[in-house]
Structure 1
């Protein structure tokens, strides 16, 4: 599939604030995709999910899901609840054919990175078991994160993808830039894409799921998302790298102005 552009949630311009209304607005704006935001909890029922499915199929809008923020697979107290939140996202997302389920997997806390990795792997394996039992076909995508305290280095996510079926990374370029205070040039974006290709193969570049926004950051990493033109993020160089690598999939804009930057990204990409 080509590279599709969309927003993290219902566009601001949508008068109908429902998910189905957001899908309709995405199509009217000339965008291609929307990430359904379950970040405060999976509150959508099956009836609404079927309405979303009907709308997205009719308009050709690709959908994904962002699971609740309250996921920490490295917490003994919250482990089962965290797995359930991802499972609930999968269950409802599958009704409207979400291509990917995105989530922030864990915090390191005082654990070693290897211990956290094993707990995250165990949690994801439980979700995959649910998917297999119910015949659900989607991709689980742990997201690259913006702070050193959070599980989500690209190498960790690529390792998960090697070891587990139907698992691939969600590459958030703004988070990577904020976490390391670099990775903000054409060559550095190419470095990221080369690593994905080297580890997972060229076919992985044909099924990418990415987040982009402006970003405010400090010594400890991410502070807040910004609009692209109000940040130092070199989105044009990123888009050039994506085009040169023949990247396909979905690019979701998480800027505060949502559809404005999503349309800017799509228009700029098409002009290259």
Structure 2
């Protein structure tokens, strides 16, 4: 991609109820003047594989880029093998349907520490990501698979962990949720210098080309010393989105930025308008 696209996490709120569907959501994204929409598979993969070509066609006709958020019920560091197996299958199910819909990227929350040593958890996640990516490639999927930076310090997934993990695989890059990183540190990682440091580390670890292939999440966020509590509208939060957008612009970042605020399209348009003013 050559630029940063802005979109909603799921079907826009303003999509008419009487015809509310993935396809009408995509059409509404286009009407709003936005560029992207994230397929929300967070509870279940809610698009049947035989319906995927129609979704892909609608996205192409409306010039809307698609991404996907996999299920919440994933833990690649679970103690129980049946939970590991189920987690891998959930990632693959989401990736398969999203790929058929034309999504270029799918993200998921990778794991929990469960009071284990972070390095041990890293090794466990890496082991199971090998299995995931083997099956992704065997299935001929072209979608990018992206573990997401997480919002609580009990969750595996700070920026360093996910950049280092991604560097060990083809077709894997992090999904950077800047609100999560702000929350998991109890209010840090929210200044222009810190945004610069994060993107510099991302570039150093994954290469300049990775800056042109980004999947970003952003929202206002409520947090405590235990991390993320809930999402907020950007202007009701302390999320320093203006300096973040300035830094993304300075680094020449491209890809998709998905807004996860409760007022998804309003804040997505706020972000796009400000970014275009730079």
Using the size of structure 1 for normalisation, the TM-score is: 0.98
User: Which residue of 165, 168, 184 maps to 1:163?
Assistant: 168
Equivalence for 1:11: 12
Length, aligned pairs only: 272
Counting only pairs closer than 5 Å after superposition, residues 142-153 of structure 1 correspond to structure 2 as 142-153=147-158
Runs (4 or more) in structure 1 with deviation over 6 Å come to none
Measure how far apart 1:122 and its partner are.
2.0
User: Which residue of 192, 209, 229 maps to 1:223?
Assistant: 229
User: Which residue of 25, 29, 48 maps to 1:26?
Assistant: 29
Counting only pairs closer than 5 Å after superposition, residues 75-154 of structure 1 correspond to structure 2 as 75-77=78-80, 78-154=83-159
Question: What is the root-mean-square deviation in Å for CA atoms of aligned residues?
Answer: 0.9
Equivalence for 1:192: 198
**Stretches of structure 2 lacking an aligned partner (at least 5 in a row):** none
Using the size of structure 2 for normalisation, the TM-score is: 0.96
Measure how far apart 1:120 and its partner are.
1.3
**Counterpart check, 1:41 vs 2:44:** yes
In 2: Cα distance, 1:209 partner to 1:158 partner:
13
Task: Give the match's secondary structure for 1:71.
Answer: coil
Counting only pairs closer than 5 Å after superposition, residues 179-258 of structure 1 correspond to structure 2 as 179-180=184-185, 181-258=187-264
In 2: Cα distance, 1:94 partner to 1:146 partner:
26
Cα offsets for 1:200-244 (capped at 9, x unmatched): 111111111100000001111111100000001111111110111
Measure how far apart 1:42 and its partner are.
1.1
Measure how far apart 1:17 and its partner are.
2.3
Equivalence for 1:58: 61
In 1: Cα distance, 2:145 partner to 2:165 partner:
10
In 1: Cα distance, 2:159 partner to 2:232 partner:
22
Cα offsets for 1:75-100 (capped at 9, x unmatched): 13310000000000011011012111
In 1: Cα distance, 2:206 partner to 2:230 partner:
30
**Stretches of structure 1 lacking an aligned partner (at least 5 in a row):** none
In 2: Cα distance, 1:182 partner to 1:57 partner:
39
In 2: Cα distance, 1:20 partner to 1:123 partner:
34
Task: Give the match's secondary structure for 1:163.
Answer: coil
In 1: Cα distance, 2:103 partner to 2:123 partner:
27
